[in-house]
């Protein structure tokens, strides 16, 4: 070591005094803690992230490995052999007509037969990649470290670890800062001169690598072999006291320091820019971020990070009166449902907040949206390419954004879907011979909007319409007229345009239908499967409404007249179920994980127990037949499937059944780090996000033009309070309930206007007071709804008398 050039690190870090507090203190309410390092990345690692970058805190004692990611590091796409965005080189309209004729003749056709006609072998689709690992090899390798504690405080978005060795207490802290665009690690000890380690950046071997260290800064750069995408990571190591060596192999060694701060940033020359998907080399922007962060003290960096995070995360608080026991989170999860009711309630509330934490960590303005694993992936060949599946998964990732008051974190979804429109137009043109845009089963960061050749899943052209309807929902939550005019409506209009052109008449009844149509991942190919019809019906309704709001009345009229002839996909079948296909082929023993034909119940809004009780009853029968828990073949029980079912039951006003699904998810799918598993591994983040959305849906609904308060409260959530949930109409609500009865509520308005409230719990007398004027507000009862005129930016307190 001595023969290496010695460079003193910049000694500018303000040391944080380390108090050496006993680590057995009761855990904070929103803290996950463990008494061991993670052995397994997937089950035990603790995720941190700032939207674009993510890292996993495993907390080894002799070597600490921080696996990290940056969202744009993908193989595939332009530069990768044979990539053509999944698009056929020439029009497939004749093939489509052939398939339609076949379906009219036979009624149902096996997916293999259709895939042979319409499917497309795909090259260069690519995979989301691990960026690499930051390894810290410590110069003390204790054999008997004591009092080890590794934790993640999701109230602060801060991971920490501490342990004792040889009478010294060591401490590390890790966070991913959105304002600074970096990941920060701080190492300290309660005695001076005790920090010594070598920091190494390690990269997988599917890329060229040039690595060098200078003045405590490791710079690693190169290009992916597959597609030539440039990548770069920089790590600045700054030690207080001691010495710092830049090593010839590109690592940096710190010796005898009092503390050290590590600042990491990474990126690529990817740009969301069709058709090249390349932008500037990342060197300048990464250098600027690391320089700027290194110019701040650790205290400043942490304070700015916490300020940024708390403003968003702190908007919502939820409490079911539970208390986490003083035991590691792996034990809390393992003991869920085994008799400690207070622990179970605390875990349910924590799991709700964890979804919000994960969204903020994997989706912030300017980043790509959360993929199947958010931002975290340690593999070169992750499950399902760790891509964007759009037959449920990407949509589910964003259900929680508006309702849990994190609209800002939802913006990457819209930026990304916007970017699918130009290639999606080519797809519409080549595959349907129509105007508009579309996307099918799945997409990557390279504008993939075509079909793959996977028979049992590839066909889902309604996905574009589903994504577009989510834009309208965002408008309904925020009432952001500019977003409606400039972003939502253009995307919706073109998505609807595709179907105005592509719907066909069913010769059997003269109705407009989608053909070919495939109930997601279930099939068979037929004409007018329920989900296809429901998506298009919902899209036409939402788009016509949006068109009128922006003054495009002629397009609204076109949609209205098509909608009159459109089969809405809502039928009740032989065992009382909501039919999955236009013909009654449903099998009451079928436990398939997709329950797509309930789209009109959730996230759509065509079915409701109040307005369409017969269809709501049929939806219940379907859900009961599909089942709740993981069956022997895992079908009914993927995490996301349970989460969707919990949302369905919430919309059916059955809080106990919704809760049963959430409880099953916690028992069967939650890992020790609270990530949701698909069935066992792999981790798939949609189940986390869907869980959070379902809890919100049980507490407040607003999709039918009124705010439904505690519409699906399960018996076990007897007492509770929630602050900050958002309802459509730009309203935020705080609710307190006790003994299953509504006690009080505060309504915060954004835009104001007439507000409609409904709750089975509002039957008692209540008063509504404008908290600024302190005047009682007149409320009109219309059936089971109550309405009042709200001022913008006002606050109304409702009290049960
Ligand atoms: C959908 C689901 C699968 C899986 C995949 C990523 O296709 O049917 O279960 O979640 O997405």
Q: For 13-81, give the secondary structure using H, E and C.
A: CCCCCCCCCCCCCCCCCCEEEECCCCCCHHHHCEEEECCCEEEEECCCCCEEEEEEEECCCECCCCCCC
**How much distance in Å is there from the Cα of 369 to the middle of ligand 1?**
17
**How much distance in Å is there from the Cα of 634 to the middle of ligand 1?**
12
C-alpha span between 703 and 403 (Å, rounded): 11
**How much distance in Å is there from the Cα of 167 to the middle of ligand 1?**
50
**How much distance in Å is there from the Cα of 211 to the middle of ligand 1?**
38
CA 426 vs CA 365, 452, 456, 522: distances in Å: 27, 16, 24, 27
- DSSP label of 8: P
Tokens 């922006």 belong to which residue? 550
**How much distance in Å is there from the Cα of 677 to the middle of ligand 1?**
12
The predicted structure's pLDDT at residue 457: 95
Q: Which two tokens stand for residue 33?
A: 């803690």
Which of 395, 456, 626, 640 most suits a substitution to test ligand 1, by most atoms within 8 Å of the C-beta? 640
Q: Contact at 8 Å (CB) between 167 and 276?
A: no
Helices (H) and strands (E) in the chain, counts: 19, 33
Tokens 């105007």 belong to which residue? 435
Closest Cα partner for 693 from 356, 267, 460, 286? 356
Residues 6+ apart with CB under 8 A from 57: 38, 45, 46, 47, 48, 66, 150, 152, 159, 161, 174
Atom of ligand 1 nearest to the CA of 684: 10
Atom of ligand 1 nearest to the CA of 372: 6
Which of 394, 441, 684, 688 most suits a substitution to test ligand 1, by most atoms within 8 Å of the C-beta? 684
CA 724 vs CA 313, 359, 768: distances in Å: 10, 17, 18
**How much distance in Å is there from the Cα of 394 to the middle of ligand 1?**
10
**How much distance in Å is there from the Cα of 611 to the middle of ligand 1?**
32
Q: Contact at 8 Å (CB) between 88 and 440?
A: no
Q: Contact at 8 Å (CB) between 460 and 469?
A: no
> Which residues sit with their C-beta closer than 6 Å to ligand 1?
372, 384, 389, 391, 393, 457, 521, 593-594, 638, 640, 684
- Cis-peptide into 210, omega within 30 deg: no
C-alpha span between 198 and 325 (Å, rounded): 37
* Per-position DSSP letters for 521-536, written without gaps between them: TT--EESS-HHHHHHH
**How much distance in Å is there from the Cα of 119 to the middle of ligand 1?**
18
C-alpha span between 342 and 319 (Å, rounded): 11
**How much distance in Å is there from the Cα of 385 to the middle of ligand 1?**
11
**How much distance in Å is there from the Cα of 589 to the middle of ligand 1?**
21
Q: Which two tokens stand for residue 155?
A: 């109230």
Atom of ligand 1 nearest to the CA of 384: 6
**How much distance in Å is there from the Cα of 112 to the middle of ligand 1?**
19
Q: What is the CA radius of gyration of the chain?
A: 27
Which of 371, 384, 642 most suits a substitution to test ligand 1, by most atoms within 8 Å of the C-beta? 384
- Which sign, positive or negative, has the C-alpha torsion 507, 509, 512, 513? negative
Q: Contact at 8 Å (CB) between 445 and 277?
A: yes
Tokens 């780090």 belong to which residue? 673
Atom of ligand 1 nearest to the CA of 638: 9
Tokens 């023969």 belong to which residue? 3
> E strand or H helix at 753, and its extent?
strand 753-758
Report, as ranges of residue numbers, the positions in the chain whose pLDDT lies below 70.
1-28, 630-636
> E strand or H helix at 222, and its extent?
strand 217-223
**How much distance in Å is there from the Cα of 126 to the middle of ligand 1?**
17
Strand partners, 645: none
The predicted structure's pLDDT at residue 761: 78
b vs e for 731-751, b when ≥16 Cβ sit within 10 Å of the residue's Cβ?
A: bbbbbbbeebebeebbbbbbe
**How much distance in Å is there from the Cα of 459 to the middle of ligand 1?**
14
**How much distance in Å is there from the Cα of 390 to the middle of ligand 1?**
9
C-alpha span between 669 and 346 (Å, rounded): 17
CA 466 vs CA 81, 349, 396, 488, 497: distances in Å: 31, 29, 11, 12, 14
Strand partners, 189: 170
The predicted structure's pLDDT at residue 273: 93
Atom of ligand 1 nearest to the CA of 686: 10
- Which sign, positive or negative, has the C-alpha torsion 533, 534, 536, 541? positive
**How much distance in Å is there from the Cα of 222 to the middle of ligand 1?**
33
Q: Which two tokens stand for residue 726?
A: 């958002």
Q: Which two tokens stand for residue 503?
A: 């719907």
Percentages helix, strand, coil for the chain (3-state, rounded to 5) are 30, 25, 45
Which of 393, 456, 518, 677 most suits a substitution to test ligand 1, by most atoms within 8 Å of the C-beta? 393
CA 781 vs CA 701, 766, 768, 796: distances in Å: 19, 12, 13, 17
> E strand or H helix at 614, and its extent?
helix 613-626
Going by DSSP bridges, is the β-strand pair 525-526/700-701 parallel, antiparallel, or unpaired?
unpaired
C-alpha span between 662 and 668 (Å, rounded): 10
Atom of ligand 1 nearest to the CA of 594: 8
Atom of ligand 1 nearest to the CA of 393: 11
**How much distance in Å is there from the Cα of 423 to the middle of ligand 1?**
23
End-to-end CA distance of the chain: 76
- Cis-peptide into 774, omega within 30 deg: no
C-alpha span between 86 and 463 (Å, rounded): 15
**Three-class DSSP category at 789:** strand
Atom of ligand 1 nearest to the CA of 389: 11
Atom of ligand 1 nearest to the CA of 441: 7
C-alpha span between 543 and 392 (Å, rounded): 21
Sheet strand arrangement including 243-246: 46-49, 53-57, 63-70, 132-138, 195-202, 252-257, 243-246
**Three-class DSSP category at 421:** helix
**How much distance in Å is there from the Cα of 392 to the middle of ligand 1?**
8
> E strand or H helix at 736, and its extent?
strand 731-738
Q: Which two tokens stand for residue 734?
A: 């705080």
Atom of ligand 1 nearest to the CA of 383: 6
**How much distance in Å is there from the Cα of 393 to the middle of ligand 1?**
7
CA 520 vs CA 511, 570, 627, 710: distances in Å: 22, 17, 18, 32
The predicted structure's pLDDT at residue 629: 76
Atom of ligand 1 nearest to the CA of 457: 7
Tokens 């504690």 belong to which residue? 149
Q: Contact at 8 Å (CB) between 34 and 327?
A: no
Atom of ligand 1 nearest to the CA of 521: 8
Nearest-CA residue for atom 8 of ligand 1: 521
**How much distance in Å is there from the Cα of 599 to the middle of ligand 1?**
16
Which of 452, 521, 630, 681 most suits a substitution to test ligand 1, by most atoms within 8 Å of the C-beta? 521
Q: Which two tokens stand for residue 69?
A: 């990611």
Which of 371, 373, 392 most suits a substitution to test ligand 1, by most atoms within 8 Å of the C-beta? 392
The predicted structure's pLDDT at residue 144: 77
Closest Cα partner for 598 from 611, 590, 608? 608
**How much distance in Å is there from the Cα of 678 to the middle of ligand 1?**
9
**How much distance in Å is there from the Cα of 754 to the middle of ligand 1?**
41
């Amino acid at each position: 070591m001595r023969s290496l050039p010695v460079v003193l690190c910049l000694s500018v870090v303000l040391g944080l005094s380390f108090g050496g507090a006993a680590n057995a203190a009761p855990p904070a309410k929103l803290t996950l803690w463990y008494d061991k390092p993670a052995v397994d990345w997937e089950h035990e690692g603790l995720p941190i992230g700032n939207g674009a970058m993510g890292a996993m805190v495993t907390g080894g004692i002799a070597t600490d490995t921080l696996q990290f990611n940056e969202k744009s590091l993908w193989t595939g796409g332009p530069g990768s052999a044979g990539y053509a965005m999944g698009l056929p080189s020439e029009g497939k309209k004749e093939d489509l007509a052939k398939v339609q004729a076949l379906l009219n003749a036979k009624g149902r056709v096996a997916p293999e037969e259709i895939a042979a006609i319409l499917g497309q072998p795909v090259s260069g689709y690519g995979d989301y990649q691990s960026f690499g690992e930051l390894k810290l090899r410590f110069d003390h390798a204790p054999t008997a470290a004591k009092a080890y504690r590794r934790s993640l405080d999701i109230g602060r978005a801060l991971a920490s670890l501490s342990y004792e060795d040889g009478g010294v207490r060591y401490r590390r802290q890790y966070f991913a800062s959105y304002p600074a665009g970096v990941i920060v690690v701080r190492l300290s000890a309660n005695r001076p001169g005790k920090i010594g380690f070598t920091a190494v950046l390690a990269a997988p071997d599917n890329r060229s690598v040039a690595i060098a260290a200078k003045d405590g800064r490791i710079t690693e750069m190169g290009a992916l072999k597959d597609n030539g995408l440039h990548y770069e990571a920089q790590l600045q190591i700054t030690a207080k006291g001691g010495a710092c060596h830049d090593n010839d192999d590109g690592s940096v060694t710190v010796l005898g320091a009092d503390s050290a701060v590590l600042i990491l940033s990474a990126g690529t020359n990817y740009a969301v820019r069709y058709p090249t998907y390349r932008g500037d080399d990342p060197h300048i922007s990464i250098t600027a971020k690391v320089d700027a962060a290194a110019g701040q003290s650790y205290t400043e960096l942490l304070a700015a990070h916490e300020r940024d995070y708390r403003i968003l995360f702190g908007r919502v608080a939820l409490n079911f009166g539970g208390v986490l026991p003083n035991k590691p989170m792996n034990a809390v999860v393992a003991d869920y449902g085994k008799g400690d009711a207070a622990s179970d309630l605390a875990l349910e509330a924590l799991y709700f907040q964890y979804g919000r934490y994960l969204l903020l960590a994997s989706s912030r303005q300017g980043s790509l949206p959360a993929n199947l694993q958010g931002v975290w992936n340690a593999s070169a060949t992750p499950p399902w390419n760790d891509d964007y599946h759009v037959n449920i998964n990407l949509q589910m990732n964003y259900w929680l954004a508006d309702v849990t008051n994190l609209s800002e974190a939802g913006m990457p979804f819209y930026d990304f879907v916007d970017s699918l429109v130009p290639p999606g137009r080519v797809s519409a043109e080549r595959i349907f011979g129509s105007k508009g845009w579309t996307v099918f089963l799945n997409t990557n960061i390279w504008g993939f909007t075509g079909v793959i050749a996977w028979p049992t899943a590839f066909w889902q052209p309604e996905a574009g319409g589903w994504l577009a309807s989510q834009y309208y929902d965002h408008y309904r939550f925020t009432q952001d007229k500019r977003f409606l005019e400039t972003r939502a409506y253009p995307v919706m209009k073109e998505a609807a345009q595709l179907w105005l052109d592509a719907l066909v008449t069913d010769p059997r009844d003269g109705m407009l239908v989608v053909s070919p149509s495939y109930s997601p991942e279930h099939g068979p190919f037929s004409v007018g499967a329920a989900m296809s019809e429901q998506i298009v019906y919902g899209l036409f309704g939402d788009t016509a409404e949006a068109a009128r709001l922006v003054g495009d009345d002629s397009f609204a009229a076109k949609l209205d007249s098509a909608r009159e002839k459109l089969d809405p996909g809502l039928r009740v079948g032989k065992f009382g179920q909501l039919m999955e296909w236009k013909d009654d082929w449903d099998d009451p023993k079928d436990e398939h994980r997709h329950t797509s034909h309930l789209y009109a119940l959730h996230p759509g809004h065509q079915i409701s127990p109040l307005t369409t009780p017969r269809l709501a009853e049929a939806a219940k029968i379907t859900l009961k037949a599909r089942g709740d828990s993981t069956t022997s073949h895992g079908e009914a029980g993927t995490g996301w499937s349970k989460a969707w079912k919990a949302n369905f039951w919430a919309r059916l006003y059955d809080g106990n059944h919704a809760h049963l699904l959430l409880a099953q998810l916690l028992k069967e799918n939650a890992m020790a780090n609270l990530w949701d598993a698909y069935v066992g591994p792999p981790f798939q983040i949609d189940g986390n996000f869907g869980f959070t959305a379902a809890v919100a849906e049980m507490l407040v609904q607003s999709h039918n033009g009124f705010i439904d308060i505690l519409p699906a409260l399960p018996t076990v959530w007897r007492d509770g309070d929630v602050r900050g949930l958002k309802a459509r109409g730009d309203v935020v609500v705080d609710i307190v309930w006790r003994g299953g009865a509504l006690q009080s509520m505060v309504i915060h308005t954004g835009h104001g206007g007439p507000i409609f409230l409904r709750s089975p719990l509002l039957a008692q007398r209540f008063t509504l007071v404008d908290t600024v004027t302190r005047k009682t507000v007149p409320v009109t009862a219309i059936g089971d709804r109550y309405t009042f005129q709200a001022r913008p930016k006002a606050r109304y307190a409702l009290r049960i008398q």
